[in-house]
Structure 1
Amino acid sequence: MREVLRAEDIHVVRDGRPVLQEISLTVRAGEHWALLGANASAAGAVLVTHHLEELPAGTTHALLLRDGRTLAQGPAAYVLTGDRVGKCFDLPPALERHGGRWTVRIERRS
């Protein structure tokens, strides 16, 4: 598919603090990306959400950020798993997808 956006090795610093580090991303025609991360300070620099429930049903790809760096990226079904999202947010989530929408429950740790 035709590339509509390519960003390579992006670094963003806000108030002297790194927000994004070494982020690379290629978006192709027809893809709808969501960037998710635990680093709330990135919200003003790029489209970032901290809640999977906010993702539009048409989201095709995702990029998970941890401490401003890419933890995982690619097709949403590959990236948005309990294991990967758990590592991103340091929580034990249970993820489900119904009708294209995501729901998350945080499981209790023993």
Structure 2
Amino acid sequence: MREVLRAEDVRVVRDGRAILQEVSLTVRAGEHWALLGANGAGKSTLLGLLGALTHPTAGTVEVLGRRLGRVDLRELRAHVGHVDPRHPLTAPLRVRDVVLTGLTNSVALLPRWRPTPGQRERAHRLIGTLGLAGVADARWPTLSHGQRGRTLIARALMPEPRLLLLDEPATGLDLPGRERLIDALDSLRREHPELATVLVTHHLEELPPGTTHAMLLREGRVLARGPVSHVLTGDQVGTCFDLPLVLERHDGRWTVRIRRPA
């Protein structure tokens, strides 16, 4: 399958401190990656590189076949669905209108811009896929945290990107909100088989069943990467978080607990 992302020997230094060191990653169409690690491991920094938000200090990053440093980042970002939980919307837009702003890459609807019937139909389909059909006319301030998160995923998918990046999308959700989000992400996988996703989290319970690959980051370095069956083991995740852990998987979902002494 064709490559969507490639990072090779990436290093990021800020204020004299190495945030990422010798990080390499290749993501192909249809793969669904999880980036896992403790707070401060460099997950969000790496996601910013993959989303063409920043440049590496050293190494190379290619997003959708275009190398950072040789391409207009603003133009490239238009082809990447990046879900920002800190979306700065304050106006009381309806859900369907928030989703449509993904076409203009703006916070609000642009004056005199009108979506085509086909674009409205795509927004309608995505709203349904994300489980939001019942609140399509609800206004942003009235939405729950989980409904806002799923609205932003639908918004990010409006331009039909080949890549979707999610930075801790389940943060702050209660149990029903988390489960609706995970179910929606799994629906996306089935309905958009070519879409590649990269999801940042430090909670294995938040990973959708369709997660195919994982990378463990520890103190800015890659501890392990590859298919989830090889990476998400008690020993490796325990080393990543510096705890003796036991991992179990049932119906595609993970649970984790501390290993008690015998």
Structure-2-length-normalised TM-score: 0.39
Quickly say closer, same or farther: Cα 1:15–1:101, change in 2 above 3 A. farther
Q: Which amino acid aligns with 1:84?
A: Q
Q: In 2, Cα distance between the equivalents of 1:70 and 1:19?
A: 12
CA contact (8 A) 1:94 1:104 kept: yes
Q: Is residue 81 from structure 1 mapped to residue 228 from structure 2 by the alignment?
A: no
What is the aligned partner in structure 2 of residue 2 from structure 1? Answer: 2
DSSP 3-state at the match of 1:59: coil
| 1:34-71 Cα distance to aligned partner (Å, 9 max, x none) | 11112435243224321111112211000011111011
Matches within 5 A, 1:26-65: 26-40=26-40, 42-45=42-45, 46=47, 47=167, 48-65=200-217
2:44 is paired with a residue of what secondary structure? coil
Higher-Rg member (1/2): 2
Which amino acid in structure 2 is aligned with residue 105 of structure 1?
Answer: R
Would you say how many aligned residue pairs link Structure 1 and Structure 2? 110
Change (3 A) 1:42 1:27: same
Kindly indicate whether residue 246 of structure 2 is the aligned counterpart of residue 94 of structure 1. Answer: yes
Distance (Å, rounded) in 2 between the aligned partners of 1:104 and 1:81: 10
Report how far residue 83 of structure 1 moved.
Answer: 0.8
Partner Cα separation in structure 1 for residue 243 and residue 29 of structure 2: 33
Letter in 2 for 1:31: E
Change (3 A) 1:15 1:57: farther
Partner of 2:77: none
Distance 1:22 1:12 in 2: 9
* Structure 1 position 97, deviation (Å): 0.8
Name the residue aligned to 1:104. Answer: 256
Deviation of 1:88 (Å):
0.9
Q: What's the CA shift for 1:100?
A: 1.2
Compare relative contact order (CA 8 Å, sep 6+) and give the higher one, 1 or 2: 2
Structure 1 unaligned blocks of 5 or more: none
2:21 corresponds in structure 1 to: 21
Please tell me the residue identity of whatever aligns with 1:56: P
- What is the percent sequence identity of the aligned residues? 74
CA contact (8 A) 2:247 2:255 kept: yes
Residues 22 and 58 of structure 1: CA distance in aligned 2, closer, same or farther (over 3 Å): same
TM-score (norm 1): 0.88
Larger mean CA deviation between 25-34 and 37-46 belongs to 37-46
Kept in 1, the 8 Å contact 2:41–2:220? The answer is no
Give the number of the structure whose residues are more often helix, by fraction: 2
